[in-house]
Amino acid sequence: MKIMTCKDLGGPCDLAHRGEDANEIINAQDQHLKECERAGDDTHRPARADMKSRWRHPKKSMNWYNDIKRQFAELPED
């Protein structure tokens, strides 16, 4: 199990996401950003817009995805 924060993934806060692989962490961030947007949290709006763009244009977002996977791989086990 490894931990990455919302900030590590491009967001504005220190909420910790835990996962066995980078995809779990990315999906947790996506859910977090959706919840923040629904709650009217404008500080997360730019990160949510970026995430939406990545889901819509995955080929263009491979650099971000590969960078997150590399960062995750370098993290120590929690």
Using CA atoms, how far apart are residues 35 and 15, in angstroms rounded to an integer?
13
Average pLDDT of every residue of the chain: 94
What six digits make up the tokens of 16?
A: 């910790």
Band of pLDDT at residue 75, cut at 50, 70 and 90: very high
Using CA atoms, how far apart are residues 24 and 57, in angstroms rounded to an integer?
19
Phi then psi dihedrals of residue 2, to 5 deg: -125, 165
> Tell me: the pLDDT tens digits for 15-49?
999 999 999 999 999 999 999 999 999 999 999 99
Cβ 22 vs Cβ 7: under 8 Å = no
Residues 6+ apart with CB under 8 A from 69: 22
> Tell me: the pLDDT tens digits for 57-73?
878 789 999 999 999 99
